[in-house]
Amino acid sequence: MGVKVTTLVDNCVKSRGILAEHGLSMLFETQETLFLFDTGASNLFMDNANALNKNIKEIDYLILSHGHSDHTGGLNTFLNTNTKAKVICKASIFTPKYRGTRENGICDIEGIDTSRFIFIDKLTELTKGFFVVPDIDIINNKDTHFSNFELMTKEGRVPDKFEDELAIVIEHENKISIFSACSHRGITNIISSVRKDFPYQKLNYLVGGFHLVDSPIDDTLYISDFLKNDTPDYIGVCHCTGVESFSALKNEFKEKVFYNYCGSELIIHK
């Protein structure tokens, strides 16, 4: 069946029986392995999974894209429900995060059992053809989304450059598909970093939040120009991309662009 990707949580929904929230969670299913990419902002991913007949207890890996609460809000619920999954992330994910006066990092850190966590710092193949990419270089400074985000360090609060961010790559036939969550370090930088390890494969799906919702339209046009030189077969935007940016990308790339609603299903053939 290849890889089936079901979006359990997104800001938008168009199906009856499931709900939306400001957050993101995606389920990846192969014949052998189940992966969950983020847990959304709350326990909603569980409710939507149940409504879509997905068994959270059977998931083998939870991959955390970065430490923001709208991507890790269901972490404790997941760990209490699923007793076997390994959690894949970067070690810096637990650093307290802020946006203005609001704390928006991982909640209830003290109660988390980290014995199930695997901290990665290099390209990691979890199962054949399914990779986690933790090394995202800032190649294009224009395509970064750090404004008003901070970390708490021993020296006090400092700008957050999202060193904890990672992405997913699925290699299939002579193609790759890239999945990002928020793209704080920039979707063009994510693609460029992936290309260091996968330089020749055709880019099939590019799916995720591009963090353009509060950005000027020039930022979207910059990404659009970049994608003209490495155009995916399909571009699925969601979460923090913004309706205006979705429309601008749709206008440029036409039928290649779709909105990856909560409840959407994709099939990536292997």
Q: Which residues pair with 170 in a beta bridge?
A: 130, 177
pLDDT value of residue 1 = 62
Across the chain, the runs of DSSP E, i.e. the strands, are 3-9, 25-29, 34-37, 61-63, 86-89, 97-99, 102-103, 117-119, 124-127, 130-133, 149-153, 156-159, 167-172, 175-179, 202-208, 234-237, 257-259, 265-268
List the one residue out of 147, 82, 76, 64 whose CA is nearest residue 112: 76
Strands 61-63 and 34-37: parallel
pLDDT for res 111: 75
pTM for this one? 0.96
| Domains assigned to the chain | 3-268 (3.60.15.10)
Taken as a whole, the chain contains a residue count of 270
pLDDT of 14 reads 86
- Hey, what are 162's tokens? 């999202």
pLDDT at residue 55 in the model: 97
Q: What is the mean pLDDT of each run of 10 residues along the chain (270 residues)?
A: 93 93 97 97 98 97 97 96 97 93 85 91 97 96 93 92 98 95 98 97 98 93 96 97 96 97 91
Q: How many helices (H) and strands (E) does the chain have?
A: 6, 18
